[in-house]
Structure 1
Amino acid sequence: MNKDQVQGRATEAKGDIKEAAGKMVGNQKLQGEGLVDQAKGKAQAGLGDAKEKVKNAIDRS
């Protein structure tokens, strides 16, 4: 795993927690921040996954 994969998944988890906390206390702003963090995390993890695939393809050749 590369750092983008790790950081992305951590950000996504943080977003899940923020969203759940926002729902629990009725704070729509916190809930929205959680959704944004989830999207950022998914994008960063996806970038990391793509980098890993390219690295693996280069290593195989």
Structure 2
Amino acid sequence: NSQLIPPHTGFPAITVPMGFTYNHLPAGLQIVGRLFSEPELIKVAYAFEQATHHRRPPKKFK
């Protein structure tokens, strides 16, 4: 999750779960889009989540 490029450029960005580290900590993937490409960015993020199934609810919510 980079706080360097998107905020300063105005490019939209979204972060999605991409798995876990060796220490079982969640890891995220940030996808940056072109200006005013929010609808496409959301579609790409949703497709990634549906294809990978990396998002898991915390154990107490199962």
Which has the larger helix fraction? 1
Identify the structure with bigger relative contact order (alpha carbons < 8 Å, sequence gap 6+): 1
Which has the larger strand fraction? 2
Fold equivalence (TM over 0.5): no
**Scaled by the length of structure 1, what TM-score is found?**
0.35
